[in-house]
Amino acid sequence: DIVMTQSPDSLAVSLGERATINCKSSQSVLYSSINKNFLAWYQQKPGQPPKLLIYWASTRESGVPDRFSGRGSGTDFTLTISSLQAEDVAVYYCQQYYDTPYTFGGGTKVEIK
Amino acid sequence: EVQLLESGGGLVQPGGSLRLSCAASGFMFGSYAMGWVRQAPGQGLQWVSVISGTGGSTHYADSVKGRSTISRDNSKNTLYLQMNSLRAEDTAVYYCAKDLTGDCLGVFDFWGQGTKVTVSS
């Protein structure tokens, strides 16, 4: 199974400041023949189901604010919130869909400092 | 508007069975793969199973393989998860989720609110 490791476990950022979450996979999730990374990011607010933010490592889902961006390739990925808003308080998960079993990272809790 | 409504959760004794259902609306159900993802209390997300839009392809997490069966009725726009030989570690909120494509891509763009399963004596 591909193990997804996120860091940090939690972070506190001031409103308007940048938040960066890291995700590392135990093996590459880049499908080189199509040059696509099979990596997605989800946001989960308390008491709510997860919400898809980004897939193919950097493609923003429709309706997701452009302050959310994803980058990386192979085994190392980041999710950046360029200017943290109060409504961004949540747990963020990365997920690989390169192979089954699809696996999620342990989550990163983002709070307001 | 896409809607996914899970049902069938509840309290069950170890070794028991449950069938979860997910009623879908607002999209061409048979054109999309569907999956189940669970979340144990206070824990992260764990993928459980996925089925293609036609129902011809299914995949399972090792933790449920052999004990669970995913299925769908495209005429009823409904997804199912039959779970047998339930264990305490199956206790979780089970989310039904829509895949981005008809094949089992594994990216879930819409999620239901979840149904809670508690396995306890």
Q: Which residues of chain B have pLDDT under 50?
A: none
Model pLDDT, residue A105: 98
Smallest CA–CA distance from A101 into chain B, residue:
B61
Q: Which of B60, B95, B104 sits opposite A49 (nearest CB)?
A: B95
Beta bridge partners of A60: A54
State the pLDDT at residue B38: 98
The answer to whether B111 contacts A50, with C-beta atoms less than 8 Å apart, is yes
**Residue A42 Cα, gap to closest chain B Cα (Å):** 9
The predicted pLDDT at position B88 comes to: 98
pLDDT, tens digit, 9 for 90 and up, residues B55-84: 999 999 999 999 999 999 999 999 999 999
User: For residue A23, what pLDDT is reported?
Assistant: 98
DSSP secondary structure letters along B6-40: EE--EEE-TT--EEEEEEEESS-GGGS-EEEEEE-
pLDDT, residue A75, reads: 98
Listed as ranges, residues in chain A with pLDDT below 70 are none
Q: How many CB pairs under 8 A join A and B?
A: 53
Question: What is the DSSP secondary structure assignment for residue B45, as one 8-state letter?
Answer: E
Residue A92 parent element (H or E): strand A90-96
What residues of A are in contact with residue B110 (Cβ under 8 Å)? 52
Mutation for B interface: A36, A43, A102, most B CBs within 10 A: A102
